[in-house]
Amino acid sequence: MEIDGRELRNALGRFATGVCIISTVSEAGEPMGLTANSFASVSLDPPLVLWSLQNNSDVFEVFSRPQHYAINVLAREHHEHSNRYAKKGDHLLDPAHFTPGQFGSPLINEALVSFECELHATHEGGDHLIIVGRVTAMHAREAGEPLLFYCGGYRHLG
Ligand SMILES: Cc1cc2nc3c(=O)[nH]c(=O)nc-3n(C[C@H](O)[C@H](O)[C@H](O)COP(=O)(O)O)c2cc1C
């Protein structure tokens, strides 16, 4: 059976997810962020998590092999951050949006939780690269609601 790309995208969109900003510091020393919803947990012991990066991203070099990066789970009030860091050519993080973490990665202020990671492995995954990180620190907010993504749009709980 031939799988139609648009139909597949729509079908995958029926799986509700949270929204994250992947953040790191480039080799040039610039704090960078990219919106992603491909985040998933992998293993508790060792503590591993993954996300996947489009091979044709303009910032593929920055996000495909950083030694340290963070995965920031966005709260419902972060939808403008999500839009901003999903724009082509606009991945430089605004200094007002982050604080440096324990291992140097930028942590998005008021994220529901930020996972600081060190690169564990990468795997080819078709037109994406699967990036597996080992969690080195976690910073969770006490309360707050998640930003959700479903059928191509933002949603909220309730
Ligand atoms: C809700 C949402 C989820 C996304 N998830 C991913 C993702 O998991 N992986 C990815 O590489 N890009 C993802 N993107 C796209 C990137 O954020 C960004 O739009 C794209 O990388 C822009 O092109 P550039 O990377 O060439 O700058 C997502 C965008 C949105 C709005």
pLDDT at 90: 85
144: CA distance to ligand 1 center in Å? 24
Task: Check residue 1 and give its pLDDT.
Answer: 78
The structural domains of the chain, with segments of one domain joined by +, span 18-151
- Contact status, residue 92 vs residue 30, Cβ threshold 8 Å: yes
Q: Which of 23, 57, 58 has the most ligand 1 atoms within 8 A of CB, as the residue to mutate?
A: 57
- Determine the average pLDDT of the residues in 6-30: 97
Residue nearest to atom 19 of ligand 1 (CA): 86
Q: Does residue 39 have its Cβ closer than 6 Å to ligand 1?
A: no
Our answer on whether the CB atom of 34 is closer than 6 Å to any ligand 1 atom is yes
Instruction: Report the candidate in 146, 128, 134, 143 with the shortest Cα–Cα distance to residue 53.
Output: 128
For ligand 1, atom 20, which residue shows the shortest CA distance? 86
pLDDT of 158 reads: 84
Percentage of the chain modeled with pLDDT above 70 = 100
- 18-151: CATH topology is Pnp Oxidase; Chain A (2.30.110)
b (16+ CB within 10 A) / e for 3-12 = eeeeeeeeee
| pLDDT confidence band for 41 (50 / 70 / 90) | very high
Average of per-residue pLDDT across 77-94: 96
Read off the pLDDT of each residue in 62-73 and give the average, rounded to a whole number. 97
Q: What is the pTM of this model?
A: 0.97
For residue 15, name the pLDDT band (cuts at 50, 70, 90).
very high
**76 pLDDT tier (thresholds 50, 70, 90):** very high
59 lines ligand 1 (CB under 6 A): yes
Does residue 112 have its Cβ closer than 6 Å to ligand 1?
A: no
